[in-house]
Amino acid sequence: MRIHLSSVFVDDQEKAVRFYTDVLGFVRKHDVPMGEDRWLTVVSPEDPEGTELLLEPSGHPAVQPYQTALVEDGIPATSFAVDDVRAEFHRLRALGVRFTQEPLEMGPVTTAVLDDTCGNLIQLVHSE
């Protein structure tokens, strides 16, 4: 068994896909109209057949309290692996991305936490 799909709730799919592709650097994989919304997934260009990330509309009433509470406490529910957290931090900050946690060494890993502008905090991580 492998992880095929994970999802983040986004308040605006078009804005989200721009952030996840133009800023973070993922690649659009599926973009299928589903009534008002789209089945919209992105993948890593380094692993196009790998786990897909679904940009899931956040309209369900449970989503906003969940996101609000996590963001207030700085909790990232999703984590992306990068080669160098500090390099990504500088690259993304130059693009205007807001970080709630600057790069921090925690034993064998370095992490940082950014705001994806669609409702979520995302952790970046690399291992030494």
Partner 1 sequence: MTEDVFKALADPTRRRILDELVERDGQTLFELCARLVTEHGIGLSRQAISQHLAVLEAAGLVLPRREGRYKFHDVNTEPLEHIVNRWLRPDASEDTP
Residues that bind partner 1 (CB under 8 A): 68, 71-76, 100-102, 104, 106-107, 111, 113
Residue nearer to partner 1 on the CB measure, 35 or 108? 108
What would the 3-class secondary structure string for 26-75 be? CEEEEEEEECCEEEEEEEECCECCCCEEEEEECCCCCHHHHHHHHHHCCC
Q: How far is the CB of 95 from partner 1 (least distance, A)?
A: 19
As a whole number of angstroms, the distance between CA 54 and CA 31 comes to 10
Sheet with 52-57: list strands edge to edge.
5-10, 52-57, 37-43, 27-34
83 phi, psi to nearest 5 deg: -75, -35
Q: How far is the CB of 7 from partner 1 (least distance, A)?
A: 20
Q: Check if the beta carbon of residue 17 is closer than 8 Å to that of residue 27.
A: no
Residue nearer to partner 1 on the CB measure, 37 or 102? 102
Residue nearer to partner 1 on the CB measure, 21 or 101? 101
Residue nearer to partner 1 on the CB measure, 96 or 107? 107
Q: How far is the CB of 80 from partner 1 (least distance, A)?
A: 16
Q: How far is the CB of 70 from partner 1 (least distance, A)?
A: 9
